[in-house]
Amino acid sequence: MDKYDIVIGLEVHVQLNTNSKIFCGCSTNFDSPPNTNICPVCCGYPGVLPVFNKRALELAVRICLALGARVNKKIYFERKNYFYPDLPKNYQISQYKMPLGEKGSLELSSGKKIGITRVHLEEDAGKLIHKENASLVDFNRTGTPLLEIVSEPDITSPEEAFDYLTYLKLTLQYIGASSCDMEKGFLRCDANISLKNKGATELGTKVELKNMNSFRGVRDALTYEAKRQRDALEKGEKISLETRAFDAAKMKTVLMRSKEEAHDYRYFPEPDLLDFSISQDILEQEAPYIKELPLARRKRIQKQYGISEKETDILISDIFLADFFEEACTMFAKPKEITNWLLGVFLEQVNLLSEKFNAVKMSPQNFSKVVRYFCENKLNNLAAKKVISLCIVTDEDIDAVIERESLAQVSAEAALSGFVQETINENKKAIKEYLEGKEQAIMFLVGMVMKKSKGKANPKVVREMLEKAIKLLKSNEAANS
């Protein structure tokens, strides 16, 4: 890309954390059977009247505040007219001329700020389920409250787009406005990308990218499209104004439709909804939810606890994990040890759970106790792992589990001497290899003692005892010869 600058803008649709839809009382429950969370209002029956969901407005205002966007004091909704099988009214209630928020920004880990053009409310469409010989329509999602967040064309690389989406998602999760579950379609992204000559002010022809279901997919699609456009320009070809879909299997974008002529949505004010005023009370009500945002927390955690940038990024990637870490550190002030166990064994166990963090019952207090017992040699590595695996979804008393499962580490030499002597007697070959300089042989012998002690021995003490016993054995053999 030596000759070109990449110009990227992102449009993100976020489903807000409400129990009911934006203009009716139907549930937003994702797991309901198809076409059960519907009513005459969201299905657009004649004569029905929409009623604006106050909770959706409050969460939308909260997002505007978190993004530093100017909240317009008066807003109104408009009808966006288009025809699609999963849009029962044949129009979408949205905002165009007077969005809820404008001119915000989002700071990235690099320190760069990406401008936010507008933030507006709208209702979602339904869902098409394509079968071999037919397409089915599920209207459950119709009318779900969405917030569209449109960035300025300030993003200059696919990696920067990935960073923007990561911190936008974390921000929305930290303030409790959306779960941003991409697998359920609660966060969706379209991208616009163009190339221009290096340093030029005039923008190139943009291409819209759709059908990206992960942040990695967005990055891959943008990477491919940037190279495709560069190659076309190098050949003297013209870039067409079009919409392209990303084929994740082939890692390439493919033409969906030409956009040589702008679509006329025939916006006009929604006649069944009044104009709305955003009161100072709503702003003051939502402001306290904007506490420490992800980037600020990232900087503080790294500085306060002295852990690496990579470890910090993992910790702040989920607010549950970040809160769990900080509370555990108040119980046992050794953040590096807490981090090692949290990002190692704890996350391994979480990844085995179908509901991930939602299924975790283990308290930070109990977790920190396990780490402390390991550091104090009361539990060895295997025993500590077992305690975490047994308690992660139960939060049983740690001491009771250790006693019940006989997991307390044995460090007394008197209790281990029999196991050590048996191992020496049974493994002459390994002892010979160790004496010949093969360091891994001693680890084999330690493992044999651990096996005999049913995993309860202190491996450090065992190694010291083995080395001492082998040294004595060697001295005796030398004396006898």
pLDDT score recorded for residue 412: 59
Say what the pLDDT of residue 46 is: 92
Q: Which helix (H) or strand (E) holds 445?
A: helix 440-452
The number of angstroms, rounded, from the C-alpha of 143 to the middle of its chain's C-alpha atoms is: 26
DSSP letter at 184? G
Q: Is the dihedral of CA 216, 339, 351, 443 positive or negative?
A: positive
Has residue 184 got a pLDDT over 60?
A: yes
Identify which of 150, 203, 272 has the alpha carbon closest to the alpha carbon of residue 5: 203
Q: Which tokens sit at 475?
A: 């001295």
**What tokens does 43 get?**
């299905």
Structure tokens given for 349: 């166990």
Cβ pair 400, 449 in contact under 8 A? no
Exposed/middle/buried for 46, CB within 10 Å: 0-12, 13-18, 19+? exposed
Q: For residue 56, with 0-12 CB atoms within 10 Å meaning exposed, 13-18 middle and 19 or more buried, which class applies?
A: buried
Q: Which residues contact 384 (CB under 8 A, 6 or more apart)?
A: 341, 345, 370, 371, 373, 374
Judged against a pLDDT cut of 70, whether residue 262 lies above it is answered with no
**pLDDT of 478 above 80:** no
Q: Compute, in degrees rounded to 10, the torsion defined by CA atoms 52, 53, 59, 65.
A: 20
Q: What angle do CA 315, 320, 321 make, to 5 degrees?
A: 25
How many helices (H) does the chain have, and how many strands (E)? 16, 16
pLDDT of 353 over the 90 cut: yes
Query: Please, which pLDDT band fits residue 409 given cuts at 50, 70 and 90?
Result: low
pLDDT of residue 450: 81
pLDDT at site 429: 86
Question: Which tokens sit at 419?
Answer: 């196991």
Report the DSSP pairing between strands 207-210 and 242-247. parallel
Query: Phi and psi at residue 113, in whole multiples of 5°?
Result: -105, 130
- 370-402 pLDDT, tens digit per residue, is 999 999 888 888 889 999 999 999 999 999 999
pLDDT of 415 higher than 70 = no
pTM higher than the cut 0.75: yes
Instruction: Give the CATH fold of the 413-480 domain.
Output: Arc Repressor Mutant, subunit A (1.10.10)
Per residue in 186-244, pLDDT (tens digit) is 999 999 999 999 999 999 999 999 989 899 999 999 999 999 999 999 999 999 999 99
> Do residues 60 and 121 lie in contact, with contact meaning Cβ atoms separated by under 8 Å?
yes
Spans of all domains in the chain:
4-286, 292-379, 413-480
Angstrom distance (rounded) from CA 19 to CA 173: 16
Q: Per-residue pLDDT tens for 63-102?
A: 999 999 999 999 999 999 999 899 999 999 999 999 999 9
Whether 442 has a pLDDT exceeding 90, the answer reads no
- Is the pLDDT confidence value at 462 over 90? no
Count the Cβ atoms, other than its own, within 10 Å of residue 203: 12
Which structure tokens are listed for 284?
Answer: 């003051």
Average pLDDT over residues 126-148: 94
Provide the mean pLDDT of the chain. Answer: 92
Q: What is the pLDDT of residues 10-69, one digit of tens each?
A: 999 999 999 999 999 999 999 999 999 999 999 999 999 999 999 999 999 999 999 999
Mean pLDDT of 126-130: 92
Distance CA 280, CA 285 (A): 8
Give per-residue pLDDT as tens, 269-308.
Answer: 999 999 999 999 999 999 999 999 999 999 999 999 999 9
What local confidence, expressed as pLDDT, does residue 426 receive? 85
